[in-house]
């Protein structure tokens, strides 16, 4: 079911000098970011391996046959 939003606004207030997140929230966020970075790295490595040409992937070429 498609959702269409014509206008959306939000008020955000951050007081300088104070962190808007607790230490536990920051730790959780850092762990999430690190996990996602690792997942992206593993995905990139799988993609490279999938498209890499390998010698053993094809039969040897024989001339004249």
Whole-angstrom Cα distance, residue 58 to residue 47? 19
Please report the sign of the dihedral spanned by the C-alpha atoms of residue 46, residue 48, residue 54, residue 59: positive
Whole-angstrom Cα distance, residue 45 to residue 39? 10
**Percent over 90 (pLDDT), the chain:** 28
- Could you report the per-residue pLDDT of 24-34, keeping only the tens digit for each? 999 999 999 99
Where does 1-65 have alpha helices with state H? 23-51
Unique residue bearing structure tokens 């024989």: 62
Q: What is the pLDDT, as a whole number, of residue 20?
A: 75
| Residue 20: partners with Cβ closer than 8 Å, 6 or more residues away | 14
């Amino acid at each position: 079911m498609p959702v269409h939003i014509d206008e959306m606004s939000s008020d955000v207030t951050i007081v300088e000098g104070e962190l808007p997140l607790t230490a536990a929230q920051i730790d959780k966020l850092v762990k999430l970011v690190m996990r996602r970075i690792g997942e992206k790295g593993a995905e990139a490595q799988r993609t490279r391996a999938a498209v890499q040409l390998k010698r053993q992937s094809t039969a040897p070429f024989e001339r004249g046959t």
